[in-house]
Structure 1
Amino acid sequence: MGTSDPYPVSVSSLHFPSAEQQSISQTLSALRRSALTVTNRLRSIEADAAFVRETADHYGLPLVANERCGSWYIPPDVKSGSAYFKSTDGHTGQWDFSFRRLNLQILPIAREHGGCIIVDSTRRGKLMPDALSKTIPIWCAVINRALFPSDTAFHAVEFPPNFLGASEESQIERRIDGFVKSLEDLKLDLGELKQQLGKPIRIAWANRSYFHPTDLHKGDAYHLFVLCSASKRVHGAEMSEGGYIQGAGDDSESWAYGLTPPVFWASKSTLFQQSDEDLPAVIEQLVEEHRKQDTDQRATRITPTRNLYISQTHPQLNSSNHYDLVIDCNGSAEAAEGNAKRLNLGCGSSKLGSRDLRNKLDQVQDFVKSRLGSDPSQSLLVTCETGKDLSAGALLAILCLFYTEEGEFTAASANRSIGKQFIRQRLAWITSSKHDINPSRSTLQSVNAFLMQRPDY
């Protein structure tokens, strides 16, 4: 070999990569993170929202967000409502009609407009989320059979084309009558719900691959629910799409720095002018400004009662100036000492709060029995940090212990025997009155344990 030969002639001449150098997987992970920037997510959302608006124009129907993801793709000024259909209720083998999420609020929207477009999205690799392919089709079939029992042409479950296997479709179909029976057992006024909807439901699907059925629009015999998956299906990694991210609005808690869809749509131009390094601080400032301007704090009355209300904890509402009595699930117990019209439970957050609630419900029972027992006409507001979880649990216990079928307070009801079906019926009062209520499984377990293991009075 000559001195110019390029090949190494000894072990010491060989070059081995140092430990500091990244492996291929580390390099790919870094590239993926660089593609998943907040700016890329927001740009992807903006692009997908344009498709959603085109879908609305095509069908001439209002837009309803399937929360939480769907609201990212709908500017607030054209959003007609929210739905809460979970993909977990459509997972294979776990198909369900949820009694925590009845979604009856979309019935009058459909009646007024001849249907609606329910907007959602899903992550890389999937054409649509299970919420659109299974959860909502199950719900529509249950509603059609329960409210329109003689219109058998609308009783079959409608599925997207060539999406599920025949076995899964038949297994889902076999469960529908059981779900209908469970809905009927809630003792809701089905005649009133039928009037709110007016006609049976038909389903169409809209995504970046197809509109199906292609010729289906609003009709005289039915209301049309269009299930719209906003994002373009991506088969490869995010970095192969030039910064486009499928389902960019999904799991926003992990990437948005507190940014919400209303703040995004109100501040879009400002956000797109920022560098990725500056975005967290800018988002924090915009969110705080929006919070100060948001004075629309209203409590929701739980029907058929005339005096029970629920809301997120807010100083503007959380005072005896607005309501005679207040129970704040997360409020500090010391802060309410000496105030006979207020009970603060001091529960923690999330699952810890649900466990705390189990041990505080006896205080709730005593407070309600003594205060409303002396004057049942008083209004009672129950709050928690979200207005959707612990407050719903406390209210559920109150409804089960003290309220008649007609929604009247009676202290004598505290002696009644309470079972799971009875609790489910009272929960339906809450979910029918406030549609974004979503008590966690832990909270409901705490309430069930308290109500079903009480000593005899």
Structure 2
Amino acid sequence: MGSSGTYPTLEDLHFPSAQTSISQTLSSLRQSALSVSNRLRSIETDGAFVHEVAEHYSLPLVANERCGSWYISPDTKAGSAYFKSTDGHTGQWDFSCRRLNLQLLPLARQYGGCVIVDSTRRGKLMPDALSKTIPIWCAVMNRALFPKETMYHPVALPPNYLGKSEESQIENRIDSFVQSFKALNLDLDHLREQLGKPIRVAWANHDYFHPTDLQKADTYHLFVLCSASKRVHGAEMSEGGYIQGAGDDSEGWAHGLTPPVFWANQDVLKGTVEEDLPDLITQLISEFKQQRAGQEATLISPTRNLFISSTDPTVNNSNKYDLVIDCNGDAAAELENPKRLNLGCASAKLGSRDLRKSLDKVRDFVNDQIGSDSSQSLLVTCDTGKDLSAGALLAIICQFYNDSGEFDASMNKNSISKQFIRQRLAWIVSSNHNVNPSRSTLQSVNAFLM
């Protein structure tokens, strides 16, 4: 009713101004619903479900990085995995030879299996990593390591989720994936011993547990693929602040906040108003980095003198390593130190291009330094310890290290092939399971070597 007690007049109605369109208003509402506070509360809710799943199966929690770590308290996190959803996309099914995830084998043997945690955004029940990528990986492991245990060879897929045609096409590719895995020339007997038994797959999400009565057993290890978030069909505004897949794409919303910092500071984060969160997060991250300073580098087996880590002054300047290559280090700041090489690469994709231009310097540095004394230790670092440093190490190993992991400057550089590069990359990812070189970094190394 209008102000006169009759039907409203035109003057009584409020229309958005020309400067504030309906789409802008809806966008503003959506951004409000997707606030950092709502995301952190949603993550906390989903984390409670994830820990209930772990208790139900009496299995440890493994995060499928990067999203999965948001839902697992660090004191209950048994490990990390790197399974890409794109390897499960329709028509693109794949087994990744650069993300082997072999760290899961001894963990499964120790605990009888694990719960692998991931999430996906609005509308989907589970990410393709859980519905396809990991089931493919499990089938490859079972066939490659337990060729006689044929009852575990078919690829297990979630119930009534994929079409029969897609299931059949995936099944038909498994044998070729097994051959790709075997071509890496890894010690399959050792891997079989690490795992011990074949793998069975189950799924856990807010809609169902399947198979309903499956638990770990003496004859197999159980991998439970857990989608942390409940499925939301409507718009974000309709869920009272709950956000499905709230941990996804954290680069776009978290202001640098990481899962360990979140779990260590839940109460103070919840008690802080939205506009003050960015400054608080910056402070918490700085404090966390100071606490973590001085981490150890990882030896790349079977070499006895190559190490990898993130760039950390306490490690780089500790004099523990005879030689240091810092991929992101300022090239002008070497101070004529013949034992140190700074490449001056940028970060991310720009850094991958910079690395390609710098690999000849890496080759010459290694040839001069280790060539004159092969007992010297070499530490290779980058900002993350996962990408550019892995690329530089891969180039070094391919050019100078024989099959036994010994320095050999007389290696035939003309015999380097893509398969040879994959085999050497397997050394790095098997030694440090957090290493995850980007496609652009690997392309730069391939282009340089070949």
The alignment's TM-score, normalised by the length of structure 2, stands at 0.96
1:213 corresponds to 2:211: yes
Please, which of 367, 370, 374 is the counterpart of residue 372 of structure 1?
A: 370
Deviations 1:285-319 (A, max 9, x none): 11111111113511111100000001101101112
State the partner residue of 1:304.
302
The answer to whether the 8 A contact 1:401-1:416 is kept is no
Equivalent in the alignment of 1:430: 428
Match of 1:408 in 2: 406
Tell me what 1:127 maps to.
125
Q: Percent identity, please.
A: 72
Q: How many residues align?
A: 447
Q: 51, 70, 74: which one pairs with 1:76?
A: 74
Please report how far the alpha carbon of residue 349 of structure 1 lies from its aligned counterpart in structure 2 after TM superposition.
1.4
Task: Name 2:445's counterpart in structure 1.
Answer: 447
More deviation in 440-449 or 407-416?
Answer: 407-416
For residue 354 of structure 2, what is the aligned residue in structure 1?
356
SS of residue in 2 equivalent to 1:412: coil
CA gap 1:364/1:14 in 2 versus in 1, 3 angstroms: same
Aligned to 1:226: 224
Work out whether residues 293 and 312 of structure 2, in 8 Å CA contact, stay in contact via their aligned partners in 1: no
1:455 paired residue number: none
Whether 2:57 is the aligned partner of 1:39: answer: no
- Aligned residues: CA RMSD: 1.8
Instruction: State the match for 2:84 in structure 1.
Output: 86
Structure 1 residues 173-206: Cα deviation after superposition (integer angstroms, max 9, x where no partner): 1111001000000000011000000000000000
Q: Comparing 317-326 with 228-237, which one deviates more in the overlay?
A: 317-326
Give the aligned residue type for 1:309: F
2: CA distance between counterparts of 1:413 and 1:394?
18
* Matched-pair contact (CA < 8 Å) for 2:83–2:99: yes
Deviation at 1:13, TM superposition (A): 8.7
Q: Which moved more, 1:17-26 or 1:441-450?
A: 17-26
Deviations 1:79-138 (Å, cap 9, x if unpaired)? 000000010110011111011110000111100000000001110100000000000000
Cα 1:8/1:74, change in 2 over 3 Å: closer
What is the CA-CA distance between 1:62 and the residue it aligns to?
A: 0.3
Q: Is the 8 A contact 2:294 2:315 kept in 1?
A: no
Seen in structure 2, the aligned counterparts of structure 1 residues 429 and 18 have a Cα distance that, compared at 3 Å, is: closer
Q: 2:168 aligns to what?
A: 170
Match of residue 285 from structure 1: 283
Give the TM-score of the pair, scaled to structure 1.
Answer: 0.95
- Residue aligning to 1:140: 138
Q: Aligned partners of 1:242, 1:15: CA distance in 2, in Å?
A: 28
Letter aligned with residue 188 of structure 1: L
Give the CA deviation at 1:5.
12
Q: 3-state DSSP class of the match of 1:317?
A: helix
Give, as a single letter, the amino acid of the residue that structure 2 aligns with 1:130. Answer: D
Q: Which has the larger radius of gyration?
A: 1
- The unaligned stretches of length 5 or more in structure 2 are none
- The 1:214–1:407 alpha-carbon spacing in structure 2 relative to 1, beyond 3 Å, is same
Counterpart of 2:279, as a letter, is A
Deviation at 1:28, TM superposition (A): 1.8
Q: Does residue 32 of structure 2 align to residue 23 of structure 1? A: no
Distance (Å, rounded) in 2 between the aligned partners of 1:13 and 1:109: 70
Determine the structure 1 residue equivalent to 2:55: 57
Report the Cα offset of residue 417 of structure 1. 1.6
Task: Tell me the equivalent position of 1:388.
Answer: 386
Q: Which amino acid aligns with 1:316?
A: T
Q: Following TM superposition, by how much is the alpha carbon of 1:26 offset from its aligned partner in structure 2, in angstroms?
A: 2.3
CA distances 1:236-284 after superposition (whole Å, capped 9, x unpaired): 0111111011111111111111111111111100011110011111111
Give the Cα–Cα distance (whole angstroms) in 2 for the partners of residues 271 and 103 of structure 1. 33
Distance in 1 of aligned mates of 2:184 and 2:83? 19
CA deviation string 1:397-442 (max 9, x = no partner): 1000000100000111154521111011001111111111111111
- 5+ residue gaps, structure 1, are 453-457
SS of the residue 1:411 aligns to: coil
Question: Retained in 2: the 8 A contact 1:204–1:224?
Answer: yes
User: How far is 1:27 from its partner?
Assistant: 2.1
Is 1:95 the counterpart of 2:93 in the alignment? yes
User: The residue matched to 1:316 in structure 2 has which SS?
Assistant: helix
The correspondence of residues 265-280 of structure 1 with structure 2, limited to 5 A, is 265-280=263-278
Q: Does the CA contact (< 8 Å) of 2:16 and 2:22 recur in 1?
A: no
CA 1:416/1:376 → structure 2, altered by over 3 Å: closer, same or farther? farther
The runs of at least 4 consecutive aligned structure 1 residues that moved more than 4 Å come to 4-9, 12-19
> Cα deviation per residue 1:212-258 (whole Å; 9 max; x = unaligned)?
00010001110000000011111101111110111111111111111
Q: Using a 3 Å threshold, how does the CA distance of structure 1 residues 16 and 276 change in structure 2: closer, same or farther? A: closer
Residues in 2 aligned to 1:144 and 1:187: alpha-carbon distance in whole angstroms = 17
For 1:161 and 1:417, the matched residues in 2 are separated by 47
Letter in 1 for 2:436: N
The answer to whether the Cα contact below 8 Å between 1:320 and 1:326 also exists between their aligned partners in 2 is: no
The separation in 2 between residues aligned to 1:5 and 1:136, in whole angstroms, is: 65
Where 2:278 maps in the other structure, the secondary structure is helix
CA distance in structure 2 between the partners assigned to 1:419 and 1:437 by the alignment: 22
Q: How far apart, in 1, do the equivalents of 2:11 and 2:318 lie?
A: 83
Relative to structure 1, is the Cα distance of residues 415 and 47 closer, same or farther in structure 2, using a 3 angstrom cutoff?
Answer: closer
In structure 1, the residue corresponding to 2:29 is in which secondary structure? Answer: helix
Q: Which moved more, 1:348-357 or 1:154-163?
A: 348-357
Would you say the 8 A contact 2:381–2:389 is kept in 1? yes
Change (3 A) 1:340 1:222: same
Instruction: Tell me by how many angstroms 1:21 deviates.
Output: 5.6
Letter in 2 for 1:134: K
